[in-house]
Structure 1
Amino acid sequence: MLDGELDVAAVFGPFAGWVKTMKNEPVTIQPINLDDDTVPLEFELAVGVRQTDAFLKYLLDFALEDHAEDVEKILRDYGVPLVQCSRCVVAGDLPAHGSYIKLADQKFEARPDLASPDQVVTQEKLEAWLADGAIRSRS
């Protein structure tokens, strides 16, 4: 895209922000986190510790809270897009999507009325495919 061969590129927000801010490239960043209800397009940054390191976890939490302005400055200096968040150490100004619908929690039903005849799998078709040499999974 920067070479002019592409008009549009989809990249991870923090990387796009870094390219624009740190590399000083003339790009327009358009967040798309509100465009999909099933694919999460917002991600929390986290610091992970072992489950047995509760003391360290709280030390890190307190340090992040104590230095929230410094953390925000670093994130903004690097162009990281930040969404609105009431429980985050650093919140941004971009509208947040909120919770996503987990695909595993959605109820999917077969809709043969929406399928064309070649898309409907019948027992007869399955048997014919197997007779023609399709491989049956044994797992």
Structure 2
Amino acid sequence: MRPGVAVAALLAALPPALAPPARGQERLAWAMAARVCLAGDPHAFATLAADLPGGGARLVVHRADGTRELCEAMPAGGVRQRAPVPSAQHVPRASDPAFFLERRCVDARRVEAADGAILGWLAYPACG
């Protein structure tokens, strides 16, 4: 299967949006996956596209220039796959939960590691 066809099939199978877990280890795993996908781009944010077997996550990374990419992050900290998203797909809705590395809204919710270290912030796309 050609890469473009594979990406299109992957995108077509995704639900419109998922909420990150409310608390606990699942939320921590989601935040760690988002951090991996956002590494090197503090101005981007991530929305959850799908949970992956084994604790990984498929996220949509929304960049400041308007481009988007799918990023599959594994719980061990690596990225399994990145693929560009066509501009008309996965446009974030105002109500979609979004993960940011930096706090951008006063009502953003802090996501902390077990030791209290700040991993990032949950807010909504308009914060970006």
Give the TM-score normalised by structure 1: 0.20
Structure holding more strand per residue: 2
Structure holding more helix per residue: 1
Give the TM-score normalised by structure 2: 0.21
